[in-house]
């Protein structure tokens, strides 16, 4: 494909813009590679404690959400409670009832 003729005096500006676009492209590619690398390293980090195979919920309780703290597991139930367990998933440490604001 033939390039359109560049008006006189604008050739340095066009070269500068091509250089800027190339630099931006390289920077974006490098940034994307760094982000992917950080995510992969974070997921493969040593010392992470996996969730237990089972969590001993009280009878008739259904889990809505689960979160993990440094040394505890939090289970939000569909009946409006938060159950705090040890990392083993069987030791119930605390039960919090969530009530609507008055």
Q: How confident is the model at residue 21 (pLDDT cuts 50, 70, 90)?
A: very high
Structure-block tokens of residue 25: 């492209």
Can you tell me the distance from the alpha carbon of 2 to that of 78, in angstroms, rounded to the nearest whole number?
66
Instruction: Give per-residue pLDDT as tens, 3-18.
Output: 777 777 788 888 899 9
Q: Is the pTM of this model over 0.75?
A: no
* 56 in Cβ contact with 70 (< 8 Å): no
Q: How confident is the model at residue 95 (pLDDT cuts 50, 70, 90)?
A: very high
- The CB density around residue 39, as the number of other CB atoms within 10 Å, is 10
CA angle centred on 29, ends 3 and 19, rounded to 5°: 35
Instruction: Give per-residue pLDDT as tens, 33-85.
Output: 999 999 998 887 766 667 788 888 888 899 999 998 888 999 999 988 999 99
User: What are the DSSP calls for 4-43, one per residue?
Assistant: PPPPTT-HHHHHHHHHHHHHHHHHHHHHHHHHHHHHHHHH
85 burial (CB, 10 Å; 0-12 / 13-18 / 19+) is buried
Coil, strand, or helix at residue 75?
A: strand
């Amino acid at each position: 494909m033939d390039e359109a003729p560049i008006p006189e005096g604008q050739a340095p500006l066009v070269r500068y813009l091509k250089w800027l676009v190339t630099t931006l492209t390289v920077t974006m590619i490098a940034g994307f590679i760094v982000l992917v690398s950080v995510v992969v390293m974070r997921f493969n980090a040593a010392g992470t404690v996996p969730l237990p195979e089972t969590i001993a919920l009280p009878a008739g309780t259904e889990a809505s959400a689960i979160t993990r703290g440094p040394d505890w597991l939090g289970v939000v139930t569909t009946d409006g409670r938060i159950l705090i367990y040890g990392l083993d998933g069987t030791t119930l440490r605390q039960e919090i009832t969530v009530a609507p604001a008055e």
